[in-house]
Amino acid sequence: MNLKKWIKSIRRILGFASISLFLSQSACAESNLSKPDLDREKRMAAEVEDAVLDGDVIYLKDGKHEFMAIDTEPEGDTKGAVIILHGRGFHPNWEDTVYPLRTQLAEKGWRTLSLQMPVLVKTAKYYDYVPLFPQSTSRIEAGIKYLKDQGIDNIILFAHSCGAHMAMEWVRQNKGKVGDRISAYIGAGMGATDYKQKMAQAFPLDKMKIPVLDIYGEKEYPAVIRMAPDRLAMIKKAGNSKSKQITIPGANHYFTDKGDALVTAVAQWLDSLTK
């Protein structure tokens, strides 16, 4: 074999090896997407713990893993508790949506419990997260149990974006009959996915007899706005007169710089439930 042919052979072998390595790594990465990225959660927890000034960082167990949560108690009488589920890839002290709610609702008499929901790598899309939805329900159950053990029965579930998909899976597993677990449900930015990725399942809002608040921003993702009439129709079909759909003027999907408006709308609706 002459030198040129030998070099071509070596290059071909190296090329095949590189392709095999790439495919192997891709397959490994794909398989890892079916499980929560616990290492990433630990890194988030380490960063969040140092930043939490309002509330206490605690750790709950979902049956398999320990996960972080932030428990924020009001100074005076407690009206009840709001469990907060963040959006995709974030954490329970996320500055948009979550932080305003967990701190300001506490100032208004509501104890808040913000949960760390399962996360994947930063590049993961909606379809990557779908396998995690059934796994996330045990964290919701852990949050409810924690509050009930504290003697709190009036529990509201608030879920934003991907957290709403996880909350709706929990509702499906309970066949919509969640009235003995929570008093009301609030979904923010419900229906957000990714480009050309349709929702895996429709939301079971028509099965929920408890009060439901569907809240979203005026400048939301198109899919969230497009599905708003359908969500409202399902809420009305469920038949609870206290259910409502609200649009926050000027707000985007993350309620950036509109946290105060979000908190005001949520607090007013919560107060209306007792009238």
**pLDDT value at 43 more than 50:** yes
Each residue's pLDDT tens digit, 118-155: 999 999 999 999 999 998 999 999 999 999 999 999 99
State the amino acid at position 72 in one-letter form.
T
Buried b (16+ CB within 10 A) or exposed e, 80-99: bbbbbbbbbbbbbbbebbbb
Residue 213 pairs in a beta bridge with 186, 244
Instruction: Number of helices (H) and strands (E) in the chain: give both, helices first.
Output: 9, 8
C-alpha pair distances (Å), 238 with each of 63, 126, 179, 212, 214: 32, 27, 13, 9, 13
Burial class (CB in 10 A: 0-12, 13-18, 19+), 224: buried
Q: Is 191 left (phi over 0), alpha (psi -120 to 50) or beta?
A: left
The predicted structure's pLDDT at residue 155: 98
Under DSSP, the state recorded for 185 is E
The predicted structure's pLDDT at residue 32: 55
**pLDDT value at 117 more than 60:** yes
Mean pLDDT of 162-182: 95
**pLDDT value at 215 more than 80:** yes
Under DSSP, the state recorded for 151 is T
Each residue's pLDDT tens digit, 14-39: 343 333 333 333 333 344 566 889 99
CA dist., res. 89 & res. 173, Å (int): 23
The predicted structure's pLDDT at residue 54: 93
